[in-house]
Structure 1
Amino acid sequence: MKEHTSDISFYPQWVFTLGLGLSAGLDVLVASALCYYLRKSRSGFSSMDGVLNTLTFYTIQNGSLTFIATLAALVCWVTMTNLIFLALHFVITKLYANALLSTLNARKTIRIQQTSAEVEPSMQLVISSSDFNRPERSRARIRHNPEDIPMTTKVQINVEETVHTDYEHEEQQDTKTPL
C-alpha cells in the first residue's frame, strides 16, 4: 500500500470508507442483537410468540436490506471511479426511514394478529344478535373488524419552513457628474 502522508485527498476517502464499513457492521450488529433479545423474550404463549416472530421477521428484513445497500455502496466506492456509490448512499438514508415507517405501520397488523390468535384461526365464527342475549356468549369478546382495535399512539408530522433574512441597507446618494 502506498503511503499517502503528504496527499491530503487520501483522508476523506479513508474516513468515508471507514464510515460505510462501520455502518454495514452496525446494521448486522443491531439486527443480530434485536433478534437475540426477541428470541430470549419468548414466553411460551402462542399469541405473544407470534408477535415476537413477526417482529423478528421485520428486524431481519429491515437489517438485511440496509446492510446489502450499504455493502453495495462500499463496494462501488472502493472499486469504481464514477459516482454510482453516491446514488446508493442516498438510497441508504431512504431505506432507514422506510424501515422505521414500516415498523410503525406494522403495529396495527401485529395487534390484529395478536387478537385473532386468541380465537382458533381455522374456526369461523358467525354471531347473530340472538347470541348476545345468552349470558355465556356475552362474556366472549370477539373482534372481527380491524377498525375496532384501539390504536394508542398516533404519529403526526408537521413540516414548517420559516425564512428570516437580515440585511443592512445603505442609502446611496445620487451624485451628478457634469458632462
Structure 2
Amino acid sequence: MTAMAWSTYSGADLAGWLVSEKFDGARAQWDGARLVSKSGRVINAPEWFTAGLPALALDGEIYAGPGTLDRVQGLSRRAAASAADWLGVRFCVFDAPGVAGGFAQRLDALGRTAHGLPVHVEIVRHEPCPGRAWLAARFAAVVAAGGEGLVARHPAGEYRAGERSQWVAKIKQHPDSPFLIGHSGEEIAA
C-alpha cells in the first residue's frame, strides 16, 4: 500500500474544499490486516493498538499531540516497542483509500465506520471552507494552539496512491511552503 502525496498550498481560493488540521505525526496506513508506513514498511504496533480496526483500508497519522513527532516516528520504526510506549498515541484517520468515489464519498464511508472503533482511533473532522478569510482564521487558530497547519481536500478528489495530488493541499508555516497565511488573513509569499 502506498500513500498519496500532498501538494503544497499555492494560495488558490479553496472555497468548497474540506479542511482539517494537519497532524505532525508519522503517516500510517491500515491495509485491513496490518499497519504500514507510507513507504510500505510494517509498523510493529502492539496488538491492542490494531485490535478492532476494520477490514477497510485507512490512511492517517500516528499522533500523540504537538511536539511529539520524534516520539511517534521512533515508535513507527522500532522492531519492537512495549505496549506502554504506545499509551497516549492515537491513529488519526483522514481517508479510506479503498472506497470508490471522491473524497466526500470516502469521508462518508469513514463516518459509517466510526462507531465501534477503538477509543484511540479518531476520524479526523473536516469542515467545508467558505473562503480565504475563514481559511486564514482557521490556520491561525491551529498554529496558535501548537498545531502544524491545515490540509484541504477537494470533495471530488480521487485517491491516487504514490502520486502528488492536486486535490490535496497542505497549508503550513514552514520553509518548504511557498505561501504563509498571516494572522491578518493576507497571504504572504515566503
Q: What range describes the TM-score normalised by the shorter chain of this pair? A: under 0.3
Relative contact order, CA 8 A, sep 6+: which one is greater?
2
Which structure has the greater CA radius of gyration?
1
TM-score by length of 2: 0.21
- Normalized per residue, the structure richer in helix is 1
- Normalized per residue, the structure richer in strand is 2
TM-score by length of 1: 0.22
